[in-house]
Each structure stands twice: as C-alpha cells, then as structure tokens.
Amino acid sequence: MIGDRLRGIREQQGLSRENLARRADVGSQQIYRYENNEQMPLSDAIARIAQALNTSTDYLLGLIDDPTPYTVNIDLSPTEEAIIAAWRRGDRLEAIKVIANNE
C-alpha cells in the first residue's frame, strides 16, 4: 500500500522520483523500489519522505486516509480546521464552501 500512496502523492505534487530522492536524502532507485512495493522503507526513510512530501507517515503507511500532515492545535475552531484541511488536500472548492456557509 505504501507504494501506491507514495507514487500518488509524489505525482500529485509534480515531483519526479529524482526530485523526491534529493529532498528526502534517499536514492532514486530506492524510491522506485518503494513505489513498486519491491522493498519496504525503514522508519527513518519513511519519516524523511513524509516530510519531503509534506504529509504524515501514517498516511504513507495506510493508517489514515487524509494526506494532510498533523498540525499543532493553535486554538483553531472546528470551522477553521475544516477550511485548512480542505485547502491542504487541494480541495479549494470545499474550503470555499465551508467559508461561505459560515459567514
């Protein structure tokens, strides 16, 4: 499962395997192996890849379905959290709908 998620989010962000490899300090062949489920990355590699892709390790591992990284709660309202989550998922229309429904 990690391979599908890794490839999907990498392609969604318009990154090549080489670009991601440089950002995460991992070999591009390793990225290929991870994406094709030929090898499971070690925990430190998963952490670096998640950080490079601005996602969570839990998403890459298939533990959660939301690719947005965890945020520190800085006293946001549930509405503000919903707007930010939608925006980070790339669902701009949903973010705008939440804003419009709360004005």
Token pair 């090898």: residue: 39
Q: Is the residue at 29 inside a domain?
A: yes
Q: Are residues 75 and 103 in the same domain?
A: yes
- Based on the fold, state whether residues 82 and 32 are members of the same structural domain: no
- Check whether residue 55 and residue 75 sit in a common domain: no
Looking at residue 6, its pLDDT comes to 96
The CATH number of whichever domain residue 41 belongs to comes to 1.10.260.40
- What is the DSSP track for 42-101? PHHHHHHHHHHTTS-HHHHTTS-S--SPP----S--HHHHHHHHHHHHT-HHHHHHHHHH
Cβ pair 102, 79 in contact under 8 A: yes
Is residue 10 predicted with pLDDT exceeding 70?
A: yes
Cα(20)–Cα(48) distance, rounded to whole angstroms? Answer: 10
pLDDT digits (tens, 9 = 90+) for 11-44: 999 999 999 999 999 999 999 999 999 999 999 9
Residues 36-70: tens digit of each pLDDT: 999 999 999 999 999 999 999 999 999 988 888 76
User: What is residue 91's predicted lDDT score, i.e. its pLDDT?
Assistant: 87
Tokens of 66: 């939301």
Domain housing 78: 71-103
Are residues 54 and 6 located together in one domain of the fold? yes
Whole-number pLDDT of residue 71: 59
Closest CA to 50 of 26, 83, 82: 26
Q: Structurally, how many domains does the chain consist of?
A: 2
55 and 77 belong to one structural domain: no
Domain assignment present for 86: yes
Q: Are residues 86 and 47 in the same domain?
A: no
CA 87 to chain centre: 13
Tell me, what's the pLDDT at 27? 94
Tell me the CB-side half-sphere exposure of residue 17, using CA atoms within 13 A: 12
* Position 66 in a domain: no
DSSP 103: -
Based on the domain organization, do 56 and 98 belong to the same domain? no
The answer on 55 and 18 residing in a single domain is yes
